Amino acid sequence: MKAPPMMMVLWRSTSLTMRWTMLTIAVLIWSASAICAMYLHAREVVWIAAIVDGYAGLFAGLTLLAPSLLLAVDARQLRIPRMHNVVLPGMIFYALTLAAIPSILLTLAGGEFAGIFAIQMLGLTAGTALGLLPRSVAAVSGFVPVLVSSFRPYLALPHWASGGLFCVLAGVALFCSVIAVRWRRQLRSVDPYRLSASRALVMQNRSQTMGWHRWGGWGQSRDSALAMQTVPAWMLPKADLNGTGPRDPARSLRVALGGWLLPITWHSMLLRWVSVLVPMAIIASLCARSAGVSILSLLGLIVHGMTFGVWVWLAGYGGAALSLVVAVTLQQRWRKANAELPLLALLPALGHGWPLVRNLLRASLLRVLTIQAVLLALVLAVALIQHVDAWSVGIALLGQVAAAGIALVFALSNFGGVSVPKWSAGLIAALCFGLVGFDNVCMPFFSPSPVLGGSSTVLLASAWMLVILALGWMAWRGWCGVQRRPHPFLPA
Amino acid sequence: MNAVLEYPDNVSASPLTASGLVHCYEGSNVLTGVDLTLTPGSVLGLVGRNGTGKSTLIRAMLGLLEPLAGSAFVFGEPALKLSDEAKSRIAYVPQQPEALAWLTVQQMLDFVGRFYPRWDAPFIRTTLERWKIQPNRLLAKLSPGERQRVDLIRAFASQPELLVLDEPAASLDPVARRELLRELALRAGESGTTVLFSTHIVSDLERVASEVAFLHEGKLLLHCGVDETKERYARLWLPAKMTSAAPSQSLSRRRNQDGSLSLIVERDRYGQWPQASTMPGARIDALGLEDLFVEIAE
């Protein structure tokens, strides 16, 4: 096969929406960072622009390069000859192109090509590796801004002269090794399509309901009912049916909606907490032993040492993640015509009209909004204690409002039958997590002074405002739909 | 749903009525003005090819989707605004039910049972035992056939006056299918339950249904008693030279390779076949239900 068509195979095999969305976002980020670097005339700005481009590269690696595995796996399973020889060179070609374009742009703006290129490759390989690792590993991807902020004082910029470049290159080599190992393992698996927790993230996200040849699963949530088939029964939470029935429609609706909204027994709750707290306690005790202090002293030191930025990150990231869990659950329930919707629509004694909608909103939002309120109170209390400036408090507040808004928007949109694209939850998540990450540019973890000046704070606040306005508009559309519909249990 | 406010005359008497239902998906018409009324105590089998809109019709009739036009009534109430009283008299089993996968069989039945005033708990116990379904198993872990049987138990346990089943036998093995048909016949015969079920399996329909309705290309082509179909419908075969005499009204019309014409025709109100059937060379063939279905659907 000739080179140009060979390169097109990989391009065409990615999801149409995803490749154009990702490409548009990448071009916008590249252009914006190059323009900033060109006109701000500060050496530091070029490196920040390179890191921002690298961050975009991480998502490009995750959404454009890693899904090449699907093509390779399918080609192997279908015994299509020479396809593998097309996929790998194609991947390398796209990786180099995606790294070269921003590097050239920033070099023209006065940057150092080698260092910038290394950062881009680090982002791309990290993203690709993330896509090839199990889904559970992806959960820690949200910690990337924290890690970058945490190690910022110890990391040197990747100049030729300093050791920073080799540090970044070592990272690239590490991610390349992970990619090679995971690629080989997934490709040679006896049944790569089998549902299991160790499958690559891209294999997990392959849409289960749209046929195995379709790669449109990106940005869509995995069906929770299907997911339950892969988990042993004893690990699944046990529903607590006490108090359900016509006397408490809201609690009954929580049972019917399932997922994170499901009321569970004390035994299940305990099991869930133990499975989270025990590993944390082990890690904490190891850290305490190495530091020569007790666990309680260590905890005290951590809490005492936590800056406002850390609290903002914890509350913002945690709040948005919780809202997304609710949003995805509701989206799944309102997508299926043969599951909970017909059951609820024909279940007597659930109520009608506004009381029913109120109960539905209570069932889906009360818990998540209570947690958001607690997080907000915590952030405000810390701000008061640490005498944080008004701008930082404002940004933290906006972030928390946006996080809470996600759950409300998806609830109203689903109940009101307003069409929300399946990938929208993923897009909003990326947007919020991205902005929460950028919050730490203004409120760094280990320093009271911001990385960038006042203008970036204004920009960040404006970005949050825009997100909130968009969410508000979506919520209004949903609310109009709720009022128009004869009952909320109609498919969205 | 502008027509919700217009109450047809037969609404109050019928457990389920559809009038002029229109619906489409992504620009293609699925229902193009369907009228259907169920007589109390009848067992209506709804047949049609894949994608002809059987499930959509059922869902629109029960108020589970908003049709683009037309109206549906359940026990005289608009389907989209049913009272609790009406809801407690209905049971519906969707095709490949997937509801409440996070509960065990027993939990799901306990939970749903709290909402129905006439919940038959002893029936559940005996049927779970008879159908060999473990009550403590998680619904998510059941096979599609087991899941369908659990949902059928759920539907029967509410002792409904109107039972609506969408392809109830699709995932069932022959033994379970036979048991389901027996249960349906029992419910209809002894309790006077009105049943609407969609199916592809014409033999099931012949075994249990009292009425049949053919849905084809979004339209209800015929609706009559199962025993009536043989008497009322037939295939009229006309040789090539006589095709011009073919009646304009027919349920289906197919030109054969030799130029002859095959039509599915209906007796008129005086019980007579169309005039063309009496012409020399013309032939009337009686058809079984399955042949009739194939002839219409082809």
Residue A296 lies in a domain: no
**pLDDT band at residue A369 using 50, 70 and 90 as cut-offs:** very high
**Both A19 and A167 in a single domain?**
yes
Is A246 found in the same domain as A193?
A: no
CB spacing of A486 vs B59 below 8 angstroms: no
Which of A190-194, A272-276, A415-419, B289-293 has the lowest average pLDDT? A190-194
Answer yes or no: do A339 and B62 touch at CB < 8 A. no
If asked whether residues A315 and A190 sit together in one domain, one would say no
Q: Which residue of B has its CA nearest to A345?
A: B64
CA distance B110 to B100: 12
Q: Is the pLDDT of residue A125 over 90?
A: yes
Q: Residue ranges of the domains in chain B?
A: 2-97+160-217, 231-297
Q: Is residue A299 part of a domain?
A: no
The band of A442, judged by pLDDT with boundaries at 50, 70 and 90, is: low
A385-397 tens-digit pLDDT: 878 778 788 888 8
- CA-to-CA distance for B34 and B26, rounded, in angstroms? 19
Is A33 part of the contact surface with chain B (CB cutoff 8 Å)? no
* Arithmetic mean of pLDDT, A275-285: 76
Is residue A124 within 8 Å of residue A57, measured between CB atoms? yes
* Average pLDDT over all residues of chain A: 80
Q: How many CB pairs under 8 A join A and B?
A: 113
ipTM summary value: 0.88
Q: Is A388 on the interface with B (CB under 8 A)?
A: no
Which pLDDT band, with edges at 50, 70 and 90, does A100 fall under? very high
Comparing CA positions, the residue from A170, A176, A33 lying closest to residue A107 is A33
Contacts of A234 in chain B (CB under 8 A): none
Chain A: give the shortest CA distance to residue B61, in Å: 12
Give a three-class secondary structure readout of chain A: CCHHHHHHHHHHHCCHHHHHHHHHHHHHHHHHHHHHHHHHCCHHHHHHHHHHHHHHHHHHHHHHHCCHHHHHHHHHHCCCCCHHHHHHHHHHHHHHHHHHHHHHHHHHCCCCHHHHHHHHHHHHHHHHHHHHCEHHHHHHHHHHHHHHHHHCCCCCCCCCCCCHHHHHHHHHHHHHHHHHHHHHHHHCCCCCCCCCCCCEHHHHCCCCCCCCCCCCCCCCCCCHHHHHCCCCHHHCCCECCCCCCCCCHHHHHHHHHCHHHCCECHHHHHHHHHHHHHHHHHHHHHHHHHHCCCHHHHHHHHHHHCCHHHHHHHHHHHHHHHHHHHHHHHHHHCCCCCCHHHHHHCCCCCCCHHHHHHHHHHHHHHHHHHHHHHHHHHHHHHHHHCCCCHHHHHHHHHHHHHHHHHHHHHHHHHHCCCCCCCCHHHHHHHHHHHHHHHHHHHCCCCCCCCCCCHHHHHHHHHHHHHHHHHHHHHHHHHHHHHHHCCCCCCCC
| pLDDT surpassing 70 at residue A93 | yes
Minimal CA–CA distance to A73: which of A177, A180, A176, A184? A184
Is the pLDDT at A213 greater than 50? The verdict is no
Q: In what order do the strands lie in the sheet with B28-37?
A: B28-37, B16-25, B69-74, B77-78
Mutation pick from A334, A338, A352 vs chain B, by most beta carbons of B within 10 Å, is A338
Decide if A343 and B87 are in contact by the 8 Å CB cutoff.
no
Residues on chain B touching A249 (C-beta within 8 angstroms): none
Residues B102, A229: C-beta atoms closer than 8 Å: no
Could you say which of B64, B87, B101 has the minimum Cβ distance to residue A347? B87
Residue A68 falls inside a structural domain: yes
**Which pLDDT band, with edges at 50, 70 and 90, does A332 fall under?**
confident
Among A203, A175, A10, smallest CA distance to A91 is for A10
User: How many domains is chain A partitioned into structurally?
Assistant: 2
Mean pLDDT for the stretch of residues A413-436 = 78
* Of A264-268, A450-454, B77-81, minimum mean pLDDT range: A450-454
Identity at A198, one-letter amino acid code: S
> What's the gap in Å between the CA of B131 and the closest CA on chain A?
22
Instruction: Please tell me which residue, A360 or A454, carries the higher pLDDT value.
Output: A360
> Do the domain assignments include residue A294?
no
- Identify whether A276 is part of a domain: no
> Cβ contacts (< 8 Å) between B95 and chain A: which residues?
338
Within-domain flag for A404: yes
Q: Indicate if the pLDDT at residue A261 is higher than 60.
A: yes
The confidence band for A462, taking pLDDT boundaries of 50, 70 and 90, is confident
**Residue A444: pLDDT over 60:** no
Q: A280 is written with which tokens?
A: 């944390």
Lowest mean pLDDT, pick from A104-118, A346-360, B8-22, B148-162 = B8-22
Mean pLDDT (whole number) for A348-353? 88
Q: Are residues A85 and A177 in the same domain?
A: yes
Check A339 against B97: CB less than 8 A apart.
yes
- Angle formed at CA B245 by CA B241 and CA B251, multiple of 5 degrees: 115
pLDDT along chain B (298 residues), means of 10: 47 82 86 91 89 91 93 93 93 90 93 93 92 90 90 93 90 86 86 89 84 88 84 86 81 85 86 84 85 81
Q: Quote the pLDDT of residue A218.
A: 44
Q: Is residue A212 part of a domain?
A: no
Nearest to B53 by CA among B22, B89, B92: B22
Interface contact flag, B81 A352, Cβ < 8 Å? yes
- In a 3-state reduction of DSSP, which class is residue B241? helix
Query: Domain B2-97+160-217, what fold?
Result: Rossmann fold (3.40.50)
A252 touches chain B (CB under 8 A): yes
pLDDT score at A348:
93
Nearest chain B residue to A257 by CA: give it: B100
pLDDT value of position A259:
87
Task: Check A256 against B63: CB less than 8 A apart.
Answer: no
Considering the domain architecture, whether residues A42 and A174 belong to the same structural domain is answered as yes
Pick from A154, A187, A204: which residue ends a domain? Answer: A204
Q: Are residues A249 and A174 in the same domain?
A: no
Cβ–Cβ of B92/A487 closer than 8 Å? no
Is A374 domain-assigned? Answer: yes
Chain B interface includes A342 (CB < 8 A):
yes
Domain extent at residue A331? 232-264+306-484
